[in-house]
């Protein structure tokens, strides 16, 4: 997953997030006409520290209205991204600026709060590192986003009305195109998993002993 770059303005971390159509290849030769952020599906990871003040300028380059939601983050209601409750949806070609201070830490994510747009691919990780590092420290920190797709023959556009899915991706790729998680013997590993799909997806780390938290 790519990381979303930021600038710092008067102590505030400023991100620019663009919702837009994205062509994405989930395996060689299988390209989808999906929707994502900043040219990728899933969108780039927003990574900050607990206590940071962030400003996220969201631009809507989609052909319909859109609004993002910061899933699991405690933010002011006006910054929550709930259409019809906290704000009006962002119209095509327009933007909205979200600004808040993060007082939590952990694994969160952002996603579209409009019907069916999630199943077009609109999600990204939002990672918040703690002020004081958790112990024991980890050597490798991975994030996995699980997504389901209903892809009909000869149609590159996901069927967002379907409830039966025929593709599963991890960070936007299906096997054998998924990226290996490379570690060294003796290293401590953290794997953060976000499941956007409608189904349960038990995962097995073959041959390893690990602790689930």
β-strand partners of 106: 128
pTM: 0.93
Residues in the chain: 213
* CB contact at 8 A, 28 and 171: no
Identify the DSSP state of 176: T
Residue labelled with tokens 């969160």: 108
Give CA–CA dist 58/72, Å, rounded. Answer: 19
Q: Report the candidate in 45, 53, 46, 44 with the shortest Cα–Cα distance to residue 20.
A: 44
pLDDT digits (tens, 9 = 90+) for 84-124: 899 999 999 999 999 999 999 999 999 999 989 999 999 99
pLDDT digits (tens, 9 = 90+) for 7-40: 999 999 999 999 999 999 999 999 999 999 999 9
CB atoms within 10 A of CB 165: 17
């Amino acid at each position: 997953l790519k990381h979303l770059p930021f600038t710092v303005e008067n102590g505030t971390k400023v991100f620019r997030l663009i919702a837009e159509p994205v062509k994405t290849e989930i395996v060689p030769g299988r390209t989808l006409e999906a929707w994502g952020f900043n040219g990728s599906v899933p969108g780039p990871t927003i990574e900050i520290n607990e206590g940071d003040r962030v400003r996220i300028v969201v631009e809507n380059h989609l052909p319909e209205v859109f609004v993002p939601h910061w899933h699991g983050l405690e933010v002011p209601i006006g910054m929550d991204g709930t259409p019809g409750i906290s704000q009006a949806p962002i119209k095509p070609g327009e933007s909205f600026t979200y600004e808040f201070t993060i007082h939590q830490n952990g694994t969160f994510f952002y996603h579209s709060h409009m019907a069916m747009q999630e199943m077009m691919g609109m999600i990204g990780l939002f990672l918040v590192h703690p002020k004081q590092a958790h112990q024991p420290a980890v050597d490798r920190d991975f994030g996995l986003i699980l997504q389901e797709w209903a892809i009909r023959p000869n149609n590159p556009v996901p069927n967002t009305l379907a409830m039966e899915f025929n593709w599963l991706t991890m960070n936007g790729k299906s096997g054998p195109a998924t990226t290996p998680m490379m570690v060294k013997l003796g290293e401590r590993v953290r794997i953060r998993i976000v499941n956007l799909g409608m189904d349960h997806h038990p995962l097995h780390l073959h041959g390893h002993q690990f602790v689930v938290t």
